[in-house]
Structure 1
Amino acid sequence: SGPGVALKTEALGLAVMVELPVVVVHVQRGGPATGLPTKTEQADLFQAMFGRNGEAPIPIVAPSTPGDCFYAAYEAARVALKYMTPVFVLSDGYLANGSEPWAIPHVEDLPEIPVNFTTEKPDGEHFHPYARDPETLARLWAIPGTPGLEHRIGGLEKEDITGNVSYDPDNHHHMVKLRAEKVQRIARELPPTEVFGPEAGDLLILGWGSTFGACRAAAERLQGKDFAISHVHLRWIHPFPQDLGDILSRFKKVLIPEINSGQLLHLIRAEYLIDARGLNLVRGRPIRARDVVNAIQELLG
């Protein structure tokens, strides 16, 4: 939960700097401090996005149902290994304490998660731990102690390619941009965003995490009535899907229900410059479908 992640902030920054695959399962609960330790909340999105010193971007995937937690964690592990980065699985207490019928998948039906260790250095060359895959920008990964692949890692800034300690200002700027670009490239492989309802209309409900059931139920209740209502539920919050901006532009109004004071709302407004509205209830309880319905009816008159 949030206090545990706070204690691991320095370690997460180190994981970003050394570019190692780590999956952090963050189950949000009421805060701050001890707060409401047995109640649900979605107020740690900013902590996951920005809660480290320096420019330290970390991908964030948010499951939407208890059963989806398995697949979100699996996806996080795949992305962490493919892109050589820590990844947050941002869940919350409502999902963690919830349950649903769930068919245990067969291992052979799950997508493969390849692990690519570097085992040999190029002929006549030194091993360069920060040489990168041209598509993903993931750095090379060698098991410590592999003969001929000895190298240093640590929290000091790395020289591009060699991984040597570097205080060069241009190199630091380059590495900051490179680490951010690596996270953004994850969006290239995200599937098209599902729009439940009309592709364009009067209002879009934009949700994330455990508000899925309330958002979807509200959309179902109001569809086919006086207004065109649709629902999009974000799985990836960092990076955003590449098609999200286009989807948002097709709706007259956007409502974002969250169990916080408007954290996704701030991110959406900043990224897409739209006048999205928030439904923000921080009561230690899940948002209800009728809360979303009432907010929509108030917005649309």
Structure 2
Amino acid sequence: MAVGKSTNGGLTWTHSTISGANAYLRCMALDPSHPDTVYSGGYEGSGSAIYRTMDGGMSWTKLTTTTIANYVYDLAVSPANPSVIFAASGSGIYRSTDFGASWTKMSSTINSCNDVLVDPANPNRIWVGTASQGVYQSLDGGVTWTAMNAGLGDMTVNKLALNPSIYLFAGTDGAASYRWSLAVGIEEGIAPVERPGLCVTPNPVADGATIHYTVSGSDPVSISVFDLQGRLVTEISQGTQIPGDHEFWWDATAGSGAPLQPGVYFIRLVSGREVQTGRLVISR
């Protein structure tokens, strides 16, 4: 088994043989503090496999992964502490704090992971894309995890990508791509269709407003309102709608029936693969 290496931007490649290995490797992670240290993960037989080189690929060492019960699909090294490594596995999310010598499962809730991503601006913030559980986020270095799936649901997320301080992107299995606004905390679906407008009038809103929207397919319509912290304050189901223009009166109340407090809110419409977003202001 060999790993390819290029030192000229991919124009030419050399092979680094991993002696004695019979593994299928599907992911690699570079130690940002030590560029010659690289981890490669996958599976060998019916179990997990992780190899490490500390000399730019000249030699490789197989790490102990008996704790990781299933294939390794992705790896990530903490940019703040190179001894901390995360492994996304078919049996969950794992963390090593000793350069991969030992591994600990970090969640009993997350069953299977396809991808793991560490925020370079805040290494305590980690995201994982899961199989049939959407996206989970940790804000304490992987100790605790919270689902962030409003509008995403229990989709299978194959890949995550980050535009630092702006968006987290999630590629799903056969559905669509989504993005999470890091500044606001709201997922926005990116569907391969033209998105018509979502309009609230009047805006600012006092005692109520008319919500206008257009949909292109015959799908159930759900409209959600979030506060500036990204918390859901109300969700309105409009049932299945025919293609075209629609509108309804909204009384500017939360899900509890209480009037919304004055301030800025975000509104999102989901209909099939279409996602529309907008902003509204409550002024009483």
* Shorter-chain TM band: under 0.3
Q: TM-score, normalised by structure 2?
A: 0.25
Structure with the greater alpha carbon radius of gyration: 2
Q: TM-score, normalised by structure 1?
A: 0.24
Which protein, 1 or 2, shows the higher relative CO under an 8 Å CA cutoff with sep ≥ 6? 1
Greater share of residues in helix: 1
